[in-house]
Amino acid sequence: SAVISQKPSRDICQRGTSLTIQCQVDSQVTMMFWYRQQPGQSLTLIATANQGSEATYESGFVIDKFPISRPNLTFSTLTVSNMSPEDSSIYLCSATGTGGWMADTQYFGPGTRLTVL
Amino acid sequence: TQLLEQSPQFLSIQEGENLTVYCNSSSVFSSLQWYRQEPGEGPVLLVTVVTGGEVKKLKRLTFQFGDARKDSSLHITAAQPGDTGLYLCAGARSGTASKLTFGTGTRLQVTL
């Protein structure tokens, strides 16, 4: 199976600053997604990271707050901008493909635990 | 709005007991997946079910997809401490480009 890594694994940030989270997959994938998860709770989809075009955001999430890049088929970044304590959460990326071992299923990175003071 | 409701939310049992986790929705899904997540890690896929009425077994875990593809269940036989974790169901709809809707989650704790 593929390996999905995220950097940083955790960070503590000051209010008003921005943090960029990186997600790297060790093989080419079709779809990449970004989620937010409060500890012990379920996952909420932030957006779909589209290769070569703007990300598709879910209701309640906007590009100015969560800009996303996906320059190629194996890498994506999520930036949490102008952070406030309410942004403290775990941010997860996932990847899926349409064939072989990744057909129509999502595989997740280990997450980035963000604390905003 | 959470479209997939899981029950129970929390379950604490002793080693050797059996348990069932339910995942219910009013919406139809083309497939449904079950994940287990441990602290500090991302969710790990356990199984994908795609056919109404389908039953899949993974060692001591039995997964069932409802006939109408609106609900699913996960049954664990003779639970072990290693089964402890957050269990999440997730549904995919046709034409949504693999986008998943996650359930509310069930936290399982298995003690000796």
Q: Would you kindly state where each structural domain of chain B is located, as residue ranges?
A: 5-111
Question: Do the chains contact at B98 and A41, CB–CB below 8 Å?
Answer: no
- What would the pLDDT profile of A32-59 be if each residue is shown by its tens digit? 999 999 887 899 999 999 888 899 999 9
Q: β-pairing, B85-92 with B71-76? A: unpaired
Is A20 inside a domain boundary?
yes
Chain A (67-106) residues lying within 8 Å, Cβ to Cβ, of chain B: 92, 94, 96, 98, 104-106
The residue of chain A nearest to residue B32, with distances taken between CA atoms, is A105
Residue carrying the six token digits 């997600």: A23
Is the pLDDT higher at A91 or at A27?
A91
Q: Tell me the nearest-neighbour CA distance from A5 into chain B, angstroms.
A: 10
Instruction: State the pLDDT at residue B95.
Output: 65
Which residue range is the domain that position A45 belongs to?
4-99
- What would the pLDDT profile of A96-108 be if each residue is shown by its tens digit? 865 544 456 788 9
CA-based nearest residue to B46, from B24, B26, B75: B75
The CATH homologous superfamily for domain B5-111 is Immunoglobulins (2.60.40.10)
- What would the pLDDT profile of B56-95 be if each residue is shown by its tens digit? 999 999 999 999 999 999 999 999 999 999 999 999 887 6
Is A114 inside a domain boundary?
no
- Check the CA dihedral A90-A96-A100-A104 and report its sign: positive
Question: Do the chains contact at A48 and B99, CB–CB below 8 Å?
Answer: yes
From the list A41, A92, A113, which residue is nearest B105 (CB)?
A41
> Average of pLDDT values for B18-31?
94
